Structure 1
Amino acid sequence: MTLTVFSLITLPTYGQKDAYNNNKFKQLDQELPTPNSYRTGSGAPGHKYWQQKADYTIEALLDEEKNQLHGKETITYTNNSPDNIKYLWVQLDQNMRATNSNTYKIRQNRIDEKANSRYFESISGYPNYDGGHKILEVKSKEGEDIPYVINQTMMRVDMPQELKPGEHFSFNIKWYYNINNRKLMGGRGGYETFKDGNTLYTLTQWFPRMAVYDDVNGWQNKQFLGRGEFALAFGDYDVKLTVPDDHIVASTGSLQDSTVLTETQRERLEEAKYSNKPIEIVTKKEAIKNEKKKGKGTKTWHYKADNVRDFALGSSRKFIWDAMGVEQNDKIVMAMSYYPKDAYNLYNRYSTEAIAHTLEVYSRMTFDYPYPVAISVEAENGMEYPMICFNYGRQDEEGNYSSRIKYGMLSVVFHEVGHNYFPMIVNSDERQWTWMDEGLNSFLQFVAEQEWEWNYPSQEGFPDNIIEYMEGVPEGMSPIMTNSESIKQFGWNAYSKPSVALNVLRETIMGRELFDYAFKEYAQRWKFKHPTPADFFRTMEDASGVDLDWFWRGWFYTTEACDISIAEVITMQLDTQDPNKEMTHLKALENDKRPTITEINNQKEGLETRVSKNENLKDFYNTDYKYSVYQDDLDKYKKYQNSLNEKDKEWMESNKYVYQVNFENVGGLVMPIIIELNFEDGSKDKKYIPAEIWKKDDKIVSKVFVTDKKVTSFFLDPNRETADIDTSNNHFPRRNSVNRFQLYKSKK
């Protein structure tokens, strides 16, 4: 049946101007790198994909009296690339805190009405603190000096000869640095001294580390300025850390010499492996005893870790330590927490359970956790490393904690433990793309939170959570695809927006089945490898069969917001051609018609027209005869009826309701149209229209809805799926919004 069979009210067309200049659905071919034998067009590693390897043997000494860390290391670098390499680049991250660091020089400062000495010290990089890696020597394994050049946070090591494909080169570095006071200066690592005089150390970015050399950038030797995190190569680690003999050391890797533990602690650790609840390895009572009586000697903790990209440690005599085993198919992963008594009421109850929950959720969404341990350390911050992370969450002096602290603590444990998957295993370049680890991880954190308990107060993931950001002025925003050091509104851009984007993809655009399969495919393709944004974008499309270029372009390459408006609703009625029905309809319209002001005033004056005074002037064209049905009309209707087939007659008698809804894209970001039809009988019907409806006109589109029941109202995005920044135009008829105000005592 075609529309030409029936006579419908004709409407003007909208948005035809520039309709064919729409680039919102243009493919990303020009933005993405050309596929090659290393990285394919499907998003998978190519048959010639390669990556370098860096192995470390490290011995270090923690000097608690001076708050210094002294170390020596042997790095063995293996060249798996097809290139001859002339020199090596080593990262000296502690140089970010050197007094001549560019980090302080490029930081903008403003004078507020209130300032103190600490503020002015931070402007100049804490001049009384001698920060940075102190390189004492760089030598070959034979003991010969190797020339090197330090450029801020990067050190170039000039090898005696080029390193050819398949060869490896070993060299030694001796160094030390002054550990920063993290409570004063901030930072991912450092030390915290408690009121009782004891110290908690988080040793992060603590040793000279190899930069990444890959097929995308060559050497990734962008300077570390503090925000853009790390690009690191995988390797095997053998680490010995000497600390005061009453310290407990939490570390990446597996403990090699258990004699640093008491026999009782070893027994507890073995019991915890098969326990369904956390077992205290170092009890609260034992930790308090350690705090009160400091040891005088030292003890060396020996850890090894295979196929990791980094290595971090926590050390303190204040640590309480609990653990339990988590099954991952055919193996047991030890979930372990270390915390001072100041965090006991939260961490003893929740931390290790939260680790276990994270491993279960993330492994289901990606791959089985491959490492032997997963550790959460309470250190009043949040930062992640392979197998270990540092988090926050302490009770007050009375032992109480607020709801905000509890859920903040749970979220940071989910988040930081989750970083084991992104980027510790799916090893993206954090120096360039923060969103590839923080955004993907924040999305999975949201999934874990929502599976922890009903009504979990998630700060990431829900589309409504980014409305405040998305409705901001474009000049104050950056596209997600912005270098880590150049991002405006860092948290919104790198964490919140990409996590919401992925949730929208999963719940609204693709559906869970397609999304989860494609996301898991990406994780499994790129675990223990170095993916780029193109690899993620391409894999998500390749594994799902969904064209998402419009989505990546809108959400990741622009700062446009979603704001779709119901611009107009036109009720469309079928012209039946039946004279009796149509005349009744016309008469009803006439009765509903409001009089003009002229007619009102004439009636007030009691106007008597000439025709009303003279009946001879009336004929069938006058108002009284307008709605009469004549034989000629009936003959035409009979002829019309004979021209219809049975299906057309059936449809005509079905009494359908027809509505044309015109939608306007006010915000610029194209998104699916999700509209709820509310019927006269109280029932509802939600319809999903894919974003491709905007393909030929991204300003205004129209959609006709045919229903069996009368629609009383239309409601856009009823379940708040699209991060629409203005819901006042989501209803038709429009709803009046009510703003609340408060009364205050009048000021004199």
Structure 2
Amino acid sequence: MRMSRLLTGLAASSALVLGGLALTGCHPSAPPGATSAAATAAPAAASAALVPPSPDGIALASPHAAMVREPSAPGAWGGPRQPGAATLSDRVVDYRIQAKLDPEKHTIEAQQQMTWRNRSDREVRAVYLHLYMNGFEGQGSTFFSEQRNLGFGFRSEVDANEGQWGHIELKKVQQAGAAVPWYFVHPDNGPETDHTVVRLDLPQPVAPGASTQLDIDFFDQLPRVIARTGYFGSFHLVGQWFPKMAVLELPGERGATAPRWNAHEFHLHSEFYADFGQYDVAITVPKGVTVGAVGELQGAPVEKDGWVTHRYVQGDVHDFAFTADKRFDTPLEADWSGPGSPPVKVRVLFPPEYAHNAQPVLKATLDSLTYFSQTLGAYPYKTVTAVVPPYNAEEAGGMEYPTFFTAEGYKDLSPGTANAYGLDFVTIHEFGHGYFYGILASNEFEEPMLDEGMNEFWDMRMIQGRGQLNSLSSRGMQRLGVRLEAPTFEVERLFSVLGEPADGTGENSWDRLSSNSYGSVYGRSATAFHELETLIGSEALARSFKIYYDRWKFRHPAIGDLQAALIEGSGKPEVVNRIFEQQVYAAQKVDDRVSKLVSEEERPQPGTVQKDGRWVERTEGEIDEQLAQDRKAWDKAHPDAKPDAAGPLPFRTTVTLRRYGASAPQTLVVRFADGSSETVRWDDQRRWARYSWVKPAKALSAELDPQDEHALDTHRLDNSQVLKAEPAAARRWAYEIAALVQTFYALVSTL
């Protein structure tokens, strides 16, 4: 999801966290139409007492599960993928779905055959499904409860009005012809009125290593596009629309010590997590409607009685979404190829009003395919579909699914404007999710940093490598002759909440102080890893990320796995561990500053001294008289000497440093008027430090972090003091002001 979509939500802040309103214990409720005796007699908001305990006792992940420090076991998720393997992933689920979209009523009638394999060493008698669409059924869902009760904001704050809610209804659930009872449960202690997680108690248990097929009929009422899914007019973005199996994690996978179900509720800021598998989806729409979807279209669409069925198949992915609109213009298409990748068909879908957006989206997608393939690993699929949503459907923009993503539409794309940069960035960002969310498939519930944060960082690297600056100017500003640009990482710092961070970037997506804190996962992660790259070197960081990608593609890594790869690739565990301890596992600001710079002549001092075997007193007046004579003689002997470069007296220079945050190894450089300099490494836990030199020349400046290694430093403007103007300080002022302008412009553009 694009970071700028959070901007209006960042203004919302609350001292509460979800745990503050959680009830004790699990309080599931049975839905109307459930097939157990208890459930059929229960109302829609049944008491938790009516739901029996799980029949096999397999636990659910903690309601507050978050970052996993310890690396996963070498054989986790079936072990590293081997060249020549029959499949790219260890496929766990097989979905065969037949879906019919009514674009007038915005509904979907569907039948789903889902085959699930039990990877564990024990019998499984109950499984869990996500029903994400129920997050939009009303204000009682966990999604809307967090928005209402905690004051959290979400993206562009589109409200669901009367007649615009959405939901998913299970019509039938069977296993081998037998009815399956189901119960709504609340793994994160959310409100009983949330219906986004359901437990199925299986009539036939699934033995270790065995598989079972579930036949599910379901119905979707799509909402007015509100949060990654829904409709606006004839446009439909259909995401998180089918009953999706939760993940059964095994010992050694993401910190698990025993089999456990990872099945969190649909939170306001969380995204998704699922097993890899195969999708075979037939989408039926009225004739004249253009369809785009995850995966490869299988042959020509089949028409019957005014309806057309499009069949898409894709293996080794963990989600499926599609779009449909009768207003889409003729798609823009291109082919891409790269070493180790199959030939890739790239397709851009767009409405007529944003036809001028299609070519920039296509170019940015092709460029992204090249960059990510070269820097991480070969793109493994045969398709990429990019969608530009229509005007007034902004909430469908900036979202990712495997092989399929949505960009955004801009009316004005004048060269060099913020809009032109924004379209490039959102396209690169959403494509990049195809690697961090799609192929690496980290747990976006519990460790959003591994997707949103690392993708943001890699996007910034790509843009920086292009030599592309972040444009801050609107077309109107350009007409006035105002053209503002800044390095993209400098602008990123502004979204990093560097001053008083409330939560570590490795925390989960819902236990957070505010939407602002969740939004910081993007910028602060990118900034922290930009600093790490500066400290260990670009070559070492690039090598580390290739290790990470190659080892954990198609395997659901944890944060500890990324940390281990960085240590291995860089050979600098102390640097890597410091960044993780201060910024990922904790929330510490970095704020070192030059508190004081003094450089004055070292005058002789009054008092008594021994001279010719006797004590002689030197007065202040005698010293002044002698200095006047010495200066006159010096000036005569050195008529071309630069002021302060040297003189009859040496200069004592004293620099005082203060620390107002976490310790970080700092470099202090003091420059003198004679062209010399002194460099000191401040690398300890002290809250202050003082350094002095007596030299022939006067100091000109004292500067901390002259190479800009510490991108996390809260206030860069206090990193230096000068006794004479220098351009370095002016540059830092320019970056800070440019970043401030960018934030203001971005906020205004969302109104």
- TM-score above 0.5, yes or no: yes
Are 2:553 and 1:518 aligned? Answer: no
**How much does 1:682 deviate?**
5.7
Would you say the 8 A contact 1:90–1:209 is kept in 2?
A: yes
Q: Percent identity?
A: 24
| Partner amino acid, structure 1, of 2:604 | L
Matches within 5 A, 1:691-710: 693-695=682-684, 697-701=685-689
* Residue number among 210, 213, 229 corresponding to 2:248 in the alignment: 213
Q: TM-score, normalised by structure 2?
A: 0.69
Partner of 1:53: 92
Instruction: Give the whole-Å Cα distance in 2 for the aligned partners of 1:385 and 1:137.
Output: 27
Would you say the 8 A contact 1:461–1:496 is kept in 2?
A: no
Aligned residues: 578
Name which of structure 1's ranges 708-717 and 52-61 shifts more when overlaid on structure 2.
708-717
Partner of 2:580: 552
* Residue number among 181, 198, 204 corresponding to 1:147 in the alignment: 181
**How much does 1:301 deviate?**
0.5
* Residue number among 330, 347, 351 corresponding to 1:336 in the alignment: 347
| Partner amino acid, structure 2, of 1:422 | F
* Residue number among 686, 696, 715 corresponding to 1:726 in the alignment: 715
Q: 1:37 to 1:501 in 2, by over 3 A?
A: closer
Would you say the 8 A contact 1:467–1:724 is kept in 2?
A: no
Instruction: Give the whole-Å Cα distance in 2 for the aligned partners of 1:658 and 1:32.
Output: 51
Partner of 1:663: 657
Would you say the 8 A contact 2:496–2:523 is kept in 1?
A: no
Are 2:522 and 1:495 aligned? Answer: yes
Q: 1:67 to 1:401 in 2, by over 3 A?
A: farther
Are 2:364 and 1:354 aligned? Answer: yes
Would you say the 8 A contact 1:52–1:214 is kept in 2?
A: no
* Residue number among 337, 359, 374 corresponding to 1:364 in the alignment: 374
* Residue number among 253, 276, 285 corresponding to 1:234 in the alignment: 276
Are 2:299 and 1:257 aligned? Answer: yes
Instruction: Give the whole-Å Cα distance in 2 for the aligned partners of 1:204 and 1:429.
Output: 18
| Partner amino acid, structure 2, of 1:165 | P
**How much does 1:258 deviate?**
2.7
Are 2:452 and 1:418 aligned? Answer: no
Name which of structure 1's ranges 718-727 and 655-664 shifts more when overlaid on structure 2.
655-664
| Partner amino acid, structure 1, of 2:616 | Y
- RMSD over aligned CA atoms reads 3.9
Instruction: Give the whole-Å Cα distance in 1 for the aligned partners of 2:81 and 2:122.
Output: 17
Are 2:442 and 1:428 aligned? Answer: yes
* Residue number among 134, 137, 142 corresponding to 1:102 in the alignment: 142
Q: TM-score, normalised by structure 1?
A: 0.70
Q: Which runs of 5+ in 2 are unaligned?
A: 1-66, 83-88, 186-194, 472-484, 608-613, 624-648, 738-751
Q: Which runs of 5+ in 1 are unaligned?
A: 1-30, 112-117, 194-198, 262-294, 573-584, 596-618, 628-654, 742-748
| Partner amino acid, structure 2, of 1:250 | G
| Partner amino acid, structure 1, of 2:230 | G
Are 2:67 and 1:74 aligned? Answer: no
Instruction: Give the whole-Å Cα distance in 1 for the aligned partners of 2:267 and 2:150.
Output: 20
Would you say the 8 A contact 1:481–1:557 is kept in 2?
A: yes
Deviation sequence 1:62-89 (CA, Å, 0-9, x none)? 1012111111110010122233222111
Deviation sequence 1:38-66 (CA, Å, 0-9, x none)? 579xxx9799xx96611101100010121
Deviation sequence 1:510-532 (CA, Å, 0-9, x none)? 11011111111111111001111
Partner of 1:203: 238
Are 2:554 and 1:528 aligned? Answer: yes
* Residue number among 428, 438, 450 corresponding to 2:452 in the alignment: 438
Would you say the 8 A contact 1:62–1:69 is kept in 2?
A: yes
Task: State the SS of the aligned residue for 2:470.
Answer: coil
Are 2:682 and 1:680 aligned? Answer: no
**How much does 1:437 deviate?**
0.4
Partner of 1:479: 504
Q: 1:419 to 1:307 in 2, by over 3 A?
A: same
Would you say the 8 A contact 1:459–1:465 is kept in 2?
A: no
Matches within 5 A, 1:561-580: 561-567=589-595
**How much does 1:168 deviate?**
0.6
Q: 1:108 to 1:710 in 2, by over 3 A?
A: same
Would you say the 8 A contact 1:460–1:499 is kept in 2?
A: no
**How much does 1:139 deviate?**
1.2
**How much does 1:428 deviate?**
0.7
Task: State the SS of the aligned residue for 2:569.
Answer: helix
Instruction: Give the whole-Å Cα distance in 2 for the aligned partners of 1:361 and 1:146.
Output: 47
Would you say the 8 A contact 1:463–1:504 is kept in 2?
A: no
Would you say the 8 A contact 2:238–2:323 is kept in 1?
A: yes
Q: Which of 1 and 2 has greater Rg?
A: 1
Would you say the 8 A contact 1:566–1:730 is kept in 2?
A: yes
Q: 1:455 to 1:353 in 2, by over 3 A?
A: same
| Partner amino acid, structure 2, of 1:395 | K
Q: 1:706 to 1:545 in 2, by over 3 A?
A: farther
Would you say the 8 A contact 2:246–2:275 is kept in 1?
A: yes
Instruction: Give the whole-Å Cα distance in 2 for the aligned partners of 1:492 and 1:703.
Output: 39
**How much does 1:246 deviate?**
0.9
Are 2:703 and 1:715 aligned? Answer: yes
Deviation sequence 1:639-690 (CA, Å, 0-9, x none)? xxxxxxxxxxxxxxxx999977553222x122231444434256879x694x
* Residue number among 190, 208, 213 corresponding to 1:165 in the alignment: 208
Are 2:133 and 1:138 aligned? Answer: no
**How much does 1:401 deviate?**
8.8
Q: 1:210 to 1:460 in 2, by over 3 A?
A: farther
Instruction: Give the whole-Å Cα distance in 2 for the aligned partners of 1:160 and 1:459.
Output: 62
| Partner amino acid, structure 1, of 2:339 | N
